[in-house]
Structure 1
Amino acid sequence: MTEGRSWSDLRDEALASPEARESYEATRIRFELGSAVRARRESLGLTQTQLGQAAGLRQSAVARFEAGGTMPTLPLLERLAAALGMRLNVGLEPLDRAS
């Protein structure tokens, strides 16, 4: 075990390579999208099966998406947004403002 090193130090060291940073960012995006869809689905009182039917997906695909297991296409995000009574809003922001 490494003594005296914080989790953020270890993470920064692990993410020093461009490949690791790219993979980490892709995972973060999938996780955040999945979490947002799940939160909205639950707030509407929908099951994964009901959301899947409304978006033209199987329940297993909704579960995989909500868990961050897939990187969705824009058309899929549009279908999910419509099924959740939302409008898809895609944007870009400067890296120095990104969290």
Structure 2
Amino acid sequence: MTERRRWNDLRAEALASPSAREAYEAARIRFELGSAVRERREALGMTQAQLGQAAGLHQSAVARFEAGGTMPTLPLLERLADALGLRLQVGFEPLDRAG
């Protein structure tokens, strides 16, 4: 019988590969951006269709973005920020302070 392994051990082993770490980081960024847009949209009481109309997107594109399904360009992020009454701010943070 094979030894059972813990999820954290399997995850660490999988992320030891540079390409896997890169894909994981890209997914994290997409998820965090999508979550931030969804939270702001909901706080404003907007539907995905309303946000899409204000940003020049289809509702389905907003849904995909909020689910973390697409990596946005800076111009798209600017359009979403404007439609949500925000200003896009891009910056760098030291890795020891990153969450």
TM-score of the superposed pair, with normalisation by structure 2: 0.93
Q: Which amino acid aligns with 1:15?
A: L
2:96 is paired with a residue of what secondary structure?
Answer: helix
Unaligned runs of 5+ in 2: none
> Corresponding residue for 1:79?
79
Give 2:45's aligned residue: 45
Percentage of identical aligned residues: 81
Q: How many residues align?
A: 98
Structure 2 CA distance, aligned partners of 1:2 and 1:73? 44
CA–CA distance in structure 2, aligned partners of residues 2 and 22 of structure 1: 29
1:5-24 matches, within 5 Å, as 5-24=5-24
**1:56 match:** 56
Cα distance in structure 1, aligned partners of 2:20 and 2:47: 35
Deviations 1:51-73 (A, max 9, x none): 00000001010001001000000
1:26 corresponds to 2:26:
yes
Q: TM-score, normalised by structure 1?
A: 0.93
Q: What whole-Å deviation, never above 9, does each CA across 1:10-69 have from its counterpart, x for those lacking one?
A: 211110000000000000000000000001001100000000000000101000100100
What secondary structure, in the 3-state scheme, does the structure 1 residue paired with 2:13 have?
Answer: helix
d(CA) in 1 for partners of 2:3, 2:85 = 48
